[in-house]
Amino acid sequence: MKKDKLRFFKRLKRFNYGYFRIKIYDLKLLKLFESRRDVSKLSLKLEVSPELIEQRMQEFGRSLAPYYKDYVSTTSSDVMAMSFELATFTLALCEIAKPKKILDLGSGFSSFCFRYWIKNHSPNSEVLTVDDAPVWLDKTREFLRHNDLPGNGLITWDELTVGGYGMFDLVFYDFGSFPVRKSSLNRVLDFASLPSITILDDMHSGDYGLHVKKTLRERTMECFSLLRYTTDKFRRYAYLAIR
Ligand SMILES: C[S@@+](CC[C@H](N)C(=O)[O-])C[C@H]1O[C@@H](n2cnc3c(N)ncnc32)[C@H](O)[C@@H]1O
């Protein structure tokens, strides 16, 4: 009886403030409302219509599709790689914002995308790819070389934090585990120049999403849900922050 009571109160403890905040974060209706509002806000900010963004995404989708299929079947998996939706959105955004210096945090298909865009659309831009797992830097380098893309500009997180790499006008944040991502977020946002755009993947996770939104608020960075453009079959989606 005593044990049962203990178990009951332990279970009750789960229903704390954090639990309800995540439950609210996960409400589908709220997400849809936020997405609708942010699509309009972002469109005004970037001075480009949602329809044009989607048209560009379709165009990039046609050229990226065979490479994505190859990457998730030979090198990684579709659960770990950025989604195809996010890949096409990211390149559509590159076409719109034309970043000169890109920081790609979390090596993989994103590293391919940026190098593909630079080679074919913006030869004066540059990308630095960073990972906390050297083994994934090697796998990414191999995939890049296999596709005739440069295998340089790939470094570890420790190398990046030593300094000397400057600031970036596009930051793509998708590396490490969630605890690592949470603890590195402020450090990463320090690399975002003024003005700059940061893309943050995996905002479907309530705990991580709430942490990101709080951090962006503290840093007075504007943020926009990319639910409309980037939702994938695992219900993952990204956010975009502007400095
Ligand atoms: C979400 S993944 C990064 C995805 C990357 N931006 C991409 O577009 O493919 C986060 C981290 O997991 C590691 N990783 C990548 N692919 C993996 C896999 N298939 N299995 C285990 N870890 C992986 C890498 O260290 C990477 O930084």
Mean predicted confidence (pLDDT) in 63-82:
96
Distance CA(52)–CA(48), nearest Å, equals 7
In terms of DSSP bridges, do strands 239-242 and 192-200 run parallel, antiparallel, or are they unpaired? antiparallel
User: CA-based angle 39:33:27, to the nearest 5?
Assistant: 130
Ligand 1 pocket residue status of 133, Cβ below 6 Å: yes
Contact present, 181 and 205 (Cβ < 8 Å): no
Query: 169-211: per-residue pLDDT in tens?
Result: 999 999 888 999 999 999 999 999 999 999 999 999 999 999 9
pLDDT at 8 over 70: no
Ligand 1 atom at minimal distance to the Cα of residue 71: 9
pLDDT digits (tens, 9 = 90+) for 27-68: 888 999 999 999 999 999 999 999 999 999 999 999 999 999
Mean pLDDT of 98-112: 97
pLDDT score recorded for residue 17: 76
pLDDT at 7 over 90: no
What pLDDT is attached to residue 77? 95
Rg of the chain taking only CA atoms, in angstroms: 19
Report all structural domains of the chain as residue ranges with CATH numbers, in order of start: 18-242 (3.40.50.150)
Using CA atoms, how far apart are residues 215 and 217, in angstroms rounded to an integer? 5
**128 three-state secondary structure:** strand
Ligand 1: residue whose CA is nearest its atom 1: 80
Answer whether 72 contacts ligand 1 (Cβ < 6 A): no
Mean pLDDT of the chain: 93
Name the residue with higher pLDDT: 26 or 88. Answer: 88
The answer to whether the CB of 65 is under 6 A from ligand 1 is no
Q: Which of 159, 160, 218 is nearest to 186 (CA)?
A: 218
The pLDDT value given to residue 176: 86
Q: Whose CA is nearest to atom 23 of ligand 1?
A: 80
The closest of 28, 34, 25, 13 to 207, measured between CA atoms, is: 25
Reported confidence tier of residue 94, pLDDT bands at 50, 70, 90: very high
DSSP string computed for 181-207: HHHHHHHHHTTEEEEEEEEE--TTSHH
